[in-house]
């Protein structure tokens, strides 16, 4: 069997040239030059502001700690499960003390601290203050040449000055963010109806994992401890808060020496704010007054559940109106231990002013 003769197709000169070119070079490279890396453009030195920030980070980063925790929790079927958490902290002194937030290490069975690029070091919590959301850890093995973070002051901070946060957001170690002091003298609710007064608000990005890390000024000094963000999504939205360093510098030595922090008070047991709010009462209603307390010496009378008499309701401290328990506690904290405060007290339709000494309820 033979194939039939195929018809001859005329081929133009142009088609023959195109065919020869296609056979002479690969399709991908035909008509193209081989790609090579572009030359690197030279640049000068970093700008002075950039050099300042780079130097601040290089100086401060070795003081920042990456903290991981192990916590035992009840499982769905009654068994025990081990969960892990993470946060930040910073070296306080050469003795191996590390400061972080109380909520970072609360209930932890084991705590580990990583400094620089070293291995995790086991640490033990030696003191905590839920009222200030501060805790102190002590490294079980203290490395040589620990670099404590320099301590500054928060009393002279100004809105608009530059601040830097270093921490471990989402477990990403040694992250630096930059921002401004957005506001001062904020109040941050913590535990037992208490608030931390004088809190720093900043727009430096603070995310989960930044808690317990340092907030620094442009000189690289500690001015606050990053502790919270305000965001519906749980991620930074430009509003973060830091516990002021002046408070930290008062509380931390007490945690190291005694394991707890002073607790300002006047010797009263207030009635739950929820009950007071439901009753439509503005102020602090006293459930009990301790014998021999400053409140008792000032003649304060508590609520009488048998007669329903409200007794004395605290409605002001040092001339500032007090509508809630947290505001009252914040004013006592602001005044400090051993200070004398003037209370505005309402009983029935009458108001009076009494002077009361602030004492340490834990002394």
Q: Which of 182, 211, 254, 293 is flagged as catalytic?
A: 211
Residue written as tokens 């033990």?
Answer: 124
Q: Is 211 a catalytic residue?
A: yes
CB 223 within 8 A of CB 216: yes
Nearest-CA neighbor of 187 among 362, 324, 345, 92? 324
Sequence-distant (≥ 6) Cβ neighbours of residue 80 within 8 angstroms: 72, 73, 74
- Written as one string, the DSSP assignment of 309-335 is B---EEEEETTEE--SHHHHHHHHHHH
The secondary structure of residue 150, as a DSSP letter, is P
CB 241 within 8 A of CB 203: no
Q: Which of 63, 88, 97, 133 is flagged as catalytic?
A: 133
For residue 315, the surrounding DSSP H or E stretch is strand 313-317
CB 356 within 8 A of CB 266: yes
Alpha-carbon distance 58 to 171, whole Å?
20
Cβ-count burial 219-229 (b if 16+ within 10 Å, e if not): ebebbbbbbbb
Alpha-carbon distance 169 to 149, whole Å?
19
Sequence-distant (≥ 6) Cβ neighbours of residue 303 within 8 angstroms: 271, 285, 286, 287, 309, 310, 311
Q: Which of 60, 63, 103, 217 is flagged as catalytic?
A: 103
Q: Is 133 a catalytic residue?
A: yes
Sequence-distant (≥ 6) Cβ neighbours of residue 49 within 8 angstroms: none
Alpha-carbon distance 85 to 301, whole Å?
46
- The catalytic residue positions are 103, 133, 211
């Amino acid at each position: 069997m033979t194939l039939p003769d195929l018809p001859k197709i005329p081929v133009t000169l142009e088609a023959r040239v195109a065919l020869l070119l296609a056979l002479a070079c690969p399709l991908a490279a035909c008509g193209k030059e081989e790609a090579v890396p572009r030359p690197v453009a030279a640049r000068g030195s970093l700008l002075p502001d950039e050099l300042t920030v780079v130097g601040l980070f290089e100086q401060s980063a070795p003081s920042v700690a990456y903290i991981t925790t192990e916590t035992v929790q009840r499982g769905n079927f009654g068994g025990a499960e081990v969960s892990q958490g993470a946060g930040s902290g910073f070296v306080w002194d050469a003795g191996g003390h590390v400061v972080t937030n109380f909520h970072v290490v609360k209930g932890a069975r084991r705590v580990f601290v990583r400094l620089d690029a070293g291995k995790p070091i086991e640490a033990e919590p030696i003191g905590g203050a839920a009222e200030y959301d501060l805790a102190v850890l002590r490294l079980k093995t203290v490395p040589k040449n620990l670099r404590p973070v320099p301590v500054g002051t928060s009393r002279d901070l100004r809105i608009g000055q530059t601040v830097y946060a270093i921490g471990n957001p989402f477990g990403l170690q040694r992250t630096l963010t930059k921002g401004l002091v957005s506001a001062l003298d904020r109040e941050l609710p913590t535990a037992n109806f208490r608030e931390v007064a004088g809190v720093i608000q900043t727009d430096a990005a603070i995310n989960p994992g930044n808690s317990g890390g340092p907030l620094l000024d442009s000189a690289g000094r500690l001015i606050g401890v990053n502790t919270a963000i305000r965001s519906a999504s749980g991620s930074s939205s430009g509003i973060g808060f830091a516990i002021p360093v002046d408070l930290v510098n008062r509380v931390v030595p007490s945690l190291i020496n005694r394991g707890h922090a002073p607790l300002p008070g006047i010797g009263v047991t207030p009635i739950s704010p929820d009950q007071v709010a439901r009753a439509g009462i503005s102020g602090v209603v006293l459930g009990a007054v301790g014998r021999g307390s400053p409140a008792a010496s000032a003649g304060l009378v508590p609520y009488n559940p048998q007669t329903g008499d409200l007794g004395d309701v605290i409605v002001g401290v040092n001339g500032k109106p007090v509508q809630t328990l947290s505001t009252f506690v914040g004013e006592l904290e602001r005044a400090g231990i051993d200070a004398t405060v003037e209370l505005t007290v309402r009983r029935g339709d009458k108001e009076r002013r009494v002077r009361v000494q602030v004492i340490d309820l834990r002394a």
